[in-house]
A and B are shown apart, each in its own frame.
Chain A
Amino acid sequence: MATLNLVQSITLTLQQAMQADERVILLGEDVGLNGGVFRVTDGLQAQFGEDRVVDTPLAESGIIGTAIGLAINGMRPIPEIQYEGFLGPAYDQIVNHAARYRNRTRGAIPVPLTIRVPVGGGIHAPELHSDSPETIYTHSPGIKVVYPTTPSDAKGLLTAAIRDPDPVIFFEPKKVYRSFREEVSEDDYEIEIGKAKVVNEGSDLTIVTWGASLFECLGAMDNAPDDADIELIDLRTIYPLDIDTIAESVEKTGRCIVVHEAPLTGGMGAEISARIQERCFLHLEAPVQRVTGFDTIMPFYKLENEYLVDAKRIGSAIAETLAY
């Protein structure tokens, strides 16, 4: 066991994956000598060489498009896109090629690749460095969307993503990168993609969240009345959605709040609410609430904390939902 933060845990995972499978290569902007802008790939080029940790030209579509070719021809590429805001130029390659190739060839040509992307706000970054676009890719059939929060979950999920026979977008909440450490096993282990985690068991209210918002939820729960028994679910994978874990919880509690950083309209909160009313209608004691980002452009960092969901907003939702 080692005590690692999220960055260190991902570095360790990549290192172990590269040791175990020589088909695994890393590619992206500044991932080599510089170790990536968040230092996630620090030291890996020194260890594995320039052929396996590749500083590519500055072209996101080129990074994903060539990674698709690498995957078609037997490699297990792990491209890094520096920030979620720069997924835009690669959108066509992700959605129109990576996601479709297996289906397009009726299984003849799968595209196993893992696209690593730092995501979300909270680090006082410039424009297009703080967004939460996970729903866009959830609405693009053919991709899996993984969004771990903790170092140990990230290790198991990233290992599973690298070994997955299909394309995975692996979102890494940058606010959590260095925010805390925990025990992470150095053993080889996978966490199944598509399985949520019950972080805290409770009987009065279910909160579903993922990424950095998890810690805001924990803060809100600390401030909630002592007799409020709240169940907290870390979704961990956005697609495939683990509706069973959510439904099982809501059938027990009868009340649910979905919390995410991404904008409200068309966000995963909408999908989860719809699924809950389909599955748990007769169990519901209150409308499903959403605490999310606003339907605005993510503001620059002077107003960043006004946008991001926080313990106070979540606390209000908890009080309202419990009192309904």
Chain B
Amino acid sequence: MPKTTAYQATIEHISILDEHANFDAELGEGVMTDEQALHLYEHMVNCRELDEVAFKLQRSGRMGTYPQNKGQEAAAVGVALALEKGKDWIVPSYRENAALFMHGLPMHYILMYWMGDERGSKMPEGVNVTPLSVPIGTHMLHATGIAWAEKLRKSDGVAATFFGDGATSEGDFHEAMNFASTLKVGVVFIGQNNGWAISVPRSKQMNSETLCQKALAYGMPTVRVDGNDIYAVHYAAKEAVKRARAGEGPTFIECVTYRLGDHTTADDARRYRDEAEVEAWRNRDPILRVRKYLTAKGSWDDARDEALKAKAKKIVAEVVDAAINVTPPETTDFFDDMYQSLPEDLRKQRETMRTSSLGQNPDQVGLKADTAAVEGR
């Protein structure tokens, strides 16, 4: 018998607005209005301003470790625009702030979170956003489960989940992709391929040239886009959301991008990345090209840009104030939401946390905690 082809596939790459602000009129036709593009532009500018200020807050000791989003804003906003606020879900990693803000997360919550205040993850009613996910590549399973619940309820909400190239090495990524595809549930997987998992480059992370190839393994539609191009991202996201809403299952979108900052404020990317590489990507900044394109088109101008940036500074200054001046958490805050109602033993630990020595049961026979001394502090 002759050999036959058992399987064959091609992976499309989409770019609409390139780094020189050239716009592909054919592919870009009807992707979004200039008004929508400006809306995304404004969110990217605000997010970038927050990023720069957050960096300074960390360096001046007013905030803990912070991961800058700088350079990766396009994927966040391009996807967020394709989702319906309050109906669809966003299941983020930690470099998609702009998407969360677009879907109703108050901006100062993100600063509270990185300032060590867990109330920053207390999602307001109606904000369908899960908290930032610290363990890499484990949260995509939650997106699959969330979308599965939509299907079971015969509702057409969609779950979009973001993660990096390194996360696609984790087992849970593959389980989430396989479950979603097999169960045919409405998830949009957004792999932000920024080329680096902290210090490990894509070439040491995997022998796959693209992340998209991994989607092929699960029989999932996939597309690779210029992740710094809001038009290309939105083009792919719209298609994916449409497919998910129609009950046709998940899609994997690979956004090729770059983080212009360090992994976090605790990292120094100069240890592993060439300055020339970073410089090349600075020219591909997702924000610059939108401004250039819309200005050339006459839909935007320098005066309005200055006003927008001044407004961003004002917004972020207010956000910083809100985060810094938030009422401090009660000292018992970390007990209260362990369970809906605290078990008796835990309630006792909560009540005696400052009046009983560590590990000492307040009921301990023959011992009495010296509460007077503690109260006198």
Q: Could you say which of A89, A93, A243 has the most chain B C-beta atoms within 10 Å of its C-beta?
A: A93
In contact, B339 and A69 (Cβ under 8 angstroms): no
Question: Chain A residues with Cβ under 8 A from B273's Cβ?
Answer: none
Question: Chain A residues with Cβ under 8 A from B130's Cβ?
Answer: 72, 109
In contact, B340 and A166 (Cβ under 8 angstroms): yes
Of the residues A59, A64, A107, A281, contact of B122 by C-beta under 8 Å = A107
Does A70 lie at the interface of the complex (its beta carbon under 8 Å from any beta carbon of B)?
yes
Does B13 lie at the interface of the complex (its beta carbon under 8 Å from any beta carbon of A)?
no
Does A287 lie at the interface of the complex (its beta carbon under 8 Å from any beta carbon of B)?
no
In contact, B175 and A61 (Cβ under 8 angstroms): yes
Q: Which of A95-103, A179-187, A199-207 contacts B (4 or more CB under 8 A)?
A: A95-103
Question: Chain B residues with Cβ under 8 A from A64's Cβ?
Answer: 141
Q: Which of B74-82, B238-246, B308-316, B342-350 contacts A (4 or more CB under 8 A)?
A: B342-350
Does B368 lie at the interface of the complex (its beta carbon under 8 Å from any beta carbon of A)?
no
Rounded to whole Å, the gap between the CB of B198 and the closest CB of chain A is 19
In contact, B175 and A57 (Cβ under 8 angstroms): yes
Q: Which of B48-56, B63-71, B149-157, B263-271 contacts A (4 or more CB under 8 A)?
A: B149-157
Does A299 lie at the interface of the complex (its beta carbon under 8 Å from any beta carbon of B)?
no
Question: Chain B residues with Cβ under 8 A from A241's Cβ?
Answer: 345
In the complex, residue of chain A having the shortest beta-carbon distance to the beta carbon of B362? A278
Q: Could you say which of B123, B175, B176, B178 has the most chain A C-beta atoms within 10 Å of its C-beta?
A: B175
In contact, B334 and A103 (Cβ under 8 angstroms): yes
Does A106 lie at the interface of the complex (its beta carbon under 8 Å from any beta carbon of B)?
yes
Count of chain B residues with a beta carbon within 8 Å of a chain A beta carbon: 49
Q: Give 1 or 0 for each of B103-137: 1 = CB within 8 Å of chain A CB.
A: 00000000000000011011110000011000100
Question: Which of under 10, 10 to 19, 20 to 34, or 35 or more describes the interface residues of A?
Answer: 35 or more
Complex alpha-carbon distance, A194 and B347, angstroms: 14
Rounded to whole Å, the gap between the CB of B114 and the closest CB of chain A is 14
Question: Chain A residues with Cβ under 8 A from B143's Cβ?
Answer: 69
Question: Chain B residues with Cβ under 8 A from A144's Cβ?
Answer: 339
Residues of chain B from 181 to 218 with CB closer than 8 A to chain A in the complex: 182-183
Residues of chain A from 156 to 184 with CB closer than 8 A to chain B in the complex: 165-166
In the complex, residue of chain A having the shortest beta-carbon distance to the beta carbon of B161? A69
In contact, A72 and B145 (Cβ under 8 angstroms): yes
Q: Give 1 or 0 for each of A235-252: 1 = CB within 8 Å of chain B CB.
A: 000011101100000000
Question: Chain A residues with Cβ under 8 A from B10's Cβ?
Answer: none
In the complex, residue of chain B having the shortest beta-carbon distance to the beta carbon of A71? B145
Complex alpha-carbon distance, A244 and B345, angstroms: 10
Given known pairs A69-B141, A142-B338, A240-B344, the reply for A74 and B363 (CB within 8 Å) is no
Complex alpha-carbon distance, A106 and B121, angstroms: 7
Q: Give 1 or 0 for each of A11-32: 1 = CB within 8 Å of chain B CB.
A: 0000000000000010000000
Complex alpha-carbon distance, A72 and B139, angstroms: 12
In contact, B176 and A65 (Cβ under 8 angstroms): yes
Does A321 lie at the interface of the complex (its beta carbon under 8 Å from any beta carbon of B)?
no
Rounded to whole Å, the gap between the CB of B128 and the closest CB of chain A is 9
Question: Chain B residues with Cβ under 8 A from A279's Cβ?
Answer: 361, 363-365
In contact, B150 and A57 (Cβ under 8 angstroms): no
Rounded to whole Å, the gap between the CB of A264 and the closest CB of chain B is 21
Of the residues A61, A75, A282, contact of B141 by C-beta under 8 Å = A61
Complex alpha-carbon distance, A108 and B105, angstroms: 13
In contact, A97 and B145 (Cβ under 8 angstroms): no
Does B61 lie at the interface of the complex (its beta carbon under 8 Å from any beta carbon of A)?
no
Does A320 lie at the interface of the complex (its beta carbon under 8 Å from any beta carbon of B)?
no
In contact, B365 and A56 (Cβ under 8 angstroms): no
Does B59 lie at the interface of the complex (its beta carbon under 8 Å from any beta carbon of A)?
no
* Interface SS, B side: helix
In contact, A65 and B175 (Cβ under 8 angstroms): yes
In contact, A62 and B178 (Cβ under 8 angstroms): yes
In contact, A110 and B141 (Cβ under 8 angstroms): no
Given known pairs A73-B89, A281-B366, the reply for A105 and B144 (CB within 8 Å) is no
In contact, A68 and B141 (Cβ under 8 angstroms): yes
Question: Chain B residues with Cβ under 8 A from A57's Cβ?
Answer: 175, 178-179, 182
In contact, A70 and B145 (Cβ under 8 angstroms): yes
Of the residues B147, B179, B343, B365, contact of A240 by C-beta under 8 Å = B343
In contact, A66 and B363 (Cβ under 8 angstroms): no
Given known pairs A75-B149, A93-B141, A97-B142, the reply for A59 and B338 (CB within 8 Å) is no
Given known pairs A61-B171, A61-B172, A61-B175, the reply for A108 and B123 (CB within 8 Å) is yes
Complex alpha-carbon distance, A104 and B118, angstroms: 6
Complex alpha-carbon distance, A280 and B337, angstroms: 31
In the complex, residue of chain A having the shortest beta-carbon distance to the beta carbon of B177? A62
In the complex, residue of chain B having the shortest beta-carbon distance to the beta carbon of A64? B141
Does A67 lie at the interface of the complex (its beta carbon under 8 Å from any beta carbon of B)?
yes
Question: Chain A residues with Cβ under 8 A from B119's Cβ?
Answer: 106
Does A275 lie at the interface of the complex (its beta carbon under 8 Å from any beta carbon of B)?
yes
Given known pairs A74-B149, A108-B122, the reply for A194 and B343 (CB within 8 Å) is yes
Does B148 lie at the interface of the complex (its beta carbon under 8 Å from any beta carbon of A)?
yes
Complex alpha-carbon distance, A107 and B335, angstroms: 11
Q: Give 1 or 0 for each of A244-285: 1 = CB within 8 Å of chain B CB.
A: 100000000000000000000000000000010011111000
Does A51 lie at the interface of the complex (its beta carbon under 8 Å from any beta carbon of B)?
yes
Does A126 lie at the interface of the complex (its beta carbon under 8 Å from any beta carbon of B)?
no
Given known pairs A105-B131, A278-B363, A280-B365, the reply for A65 and B145 (CB within 8 Å) is yes
Given known pairs A69-B141, A69-B145, A107-B337, the reply for A96 and B179 (CB within 8 Å) is no
In contact, B148 and A70 (Cβ under 8 angstroms): yes
Complex alpha-carbon distance, A60 and B303, angstroms: 57
Given known pairs A62-B179, A72-B142, A108-B123, the reply for A103 and B338 (CB within 8 Å) is yes
In the complex, residue of chain B having the shortest beta-carbon distance to the beta carbon of A67? B145
Complex alpha-carbon distance, A67 and B149, angstroms: 9
Q: Could you say which of A62, A107, A108, A109 has the most chain B C-beta atoms within 10 Å of its C-beta?
A: A62
Complex alpha-carbon distance, A307 and B143, angstroms: 43
Question: Chain B residues with Cβ under 8 A from A66's Cβ?
Answer: 141-142, 144-145, 148, 176, 179
Q: Name 11 interchain pairs, CB-CB below 8 A, sorted by A.
A: A61-B171, A65-B141, A66-B141, A66-B179, A68-B141, A69-B149, A72-B146, A72-B149, A73-B150, A104-B118, A107-B122
Query: Given A59-B175, A65-B142, A66-B144, list of 8 further CB < 8 A pairs?
Result: A51-B152, A61-B138, A69-B141, A70-B145, A73-B150, A75-B149, A97-B138, A103-B337
> Which 7 A/B pairs are nearest by Cβ-Cβ distance?
A69-B145, A65-B141, A62-B175, A240-B343, A73-B149, A66-B145, A106-B122
